[in-house]
Amino acid sequence: MSVLLDPIYAFVFLGLFSPGPNVILLTASGARFGFQRTLPHLAGVVLGVGIIAGLTAFGLGAILIAMPQLTLALKGIAAVWILWMAWRLWSSEARLNDASDAPMTFTQAVLFQWLNPKIWAVALSGITLYPGGFSPIGEAVRLASAFSGINLGVCIFWTAAGTLLTFLLTSPAAWRIFMRVMALALVAFSIMLFV
């Protein structure tokens, strides 16, 4: 199979480009803090997603599937964290310069991927539906590079889109509506974890 024709690329693009916690949070952060201040968050998402995808090739995903109690616990932790982030968006003010109000850090974004159920679902589906036939290390490199490489473009797009939205969010009312829509999208995603 040619690397350029590997169907994993289209699958990963569709899986990561569609709305989920990363897309929502990067769009909101781009709007709230601007593109440059969101770069550590963006880089953490790209690296964290690649790590998760690579680890699924070593069977970590199979462990989650085999242990439903662990999966349920991770979903519960993820739901609480996503709801906390939704509350922060709901109650946020437009582009504060307060040092206590900052975008997600690189480390926080990497760690969030461990609790991001969408990333686990896309990575598990990718390795199951589109195996490359490589050794575990080869599969890990294949998945990690596909996920991180494609996700870099996806994250840049959504962060830039959020940054461009600031031109439309010129009033406090418009800002509040946008952030509350982003918060409600996160709440909806946290509910979908258990459906």
Kindly provide the b/e burial profile for residues 71-100, where b requires at least 16 CB atoms within 10 angstroms of the residue's own CB. Answer: eeebbeebbebbbebbeebbebebeeeeee
Position 52 scores a pLDDT of 94
pLDDT in tens, 151-179: 999 999 999 999 999 888 888 888 889 88
Of 124, 26, 18, nearest to 74 by C-alpha is 124
The mean pLDDT of 82-104, rounded to a whole number, is 77
Compute the radius of gyration of the chain from its Cα atoms: 17
Position 3 scores a pLDDT of 54
Position 51 scores a pLDDT of 95
Domain residue spans of the chain: 3-192
The pLDDT of residue 21 is above 60: yes
Q: What is the reported pTM?
A: 0.84
As a whole-number percent, the residues of the chain with pLDDT over 90 amount to 39
Position 2 scores a pLDDT of 52
Contact 46, 12 (CB under 8 A): no
The mean pLDDT of 130-147, rounded to a whole number, is 88
Q: Residue 189, Cβ neighbours under 10 Å: how many?
A: 22
Residues 6+ apart with CB under 8 A from 110: 44, 45, 47, 48, 51
DSSP code, position 193: T
Q: Which of 30-34, 36-40, 149-153 has the lowest mean pLDDT?
A: 30-34
Angle at 152 between CA 46 and CA 80, to 5 degrees: 40
Contact 109, 45 (CB under 8 A): yes
Pairwise pLDDT comparison (98 vs 167), residue with the higher score: 167
Position 75 scores a pLDDT of 78
pLDDT in tens, 38-59: 999 999 999 999 999 999 888 7
Position 73 scores a pLDDT of 82
* Alpha carbons 34 and 96: distance in angstroms, whole number: 11
Position 71 scores a pLDDT of 75
Pairwise pLDDT comparison (80 vs 152), residue with the higher score: 152
Position 131 scores a pLDDT of 82
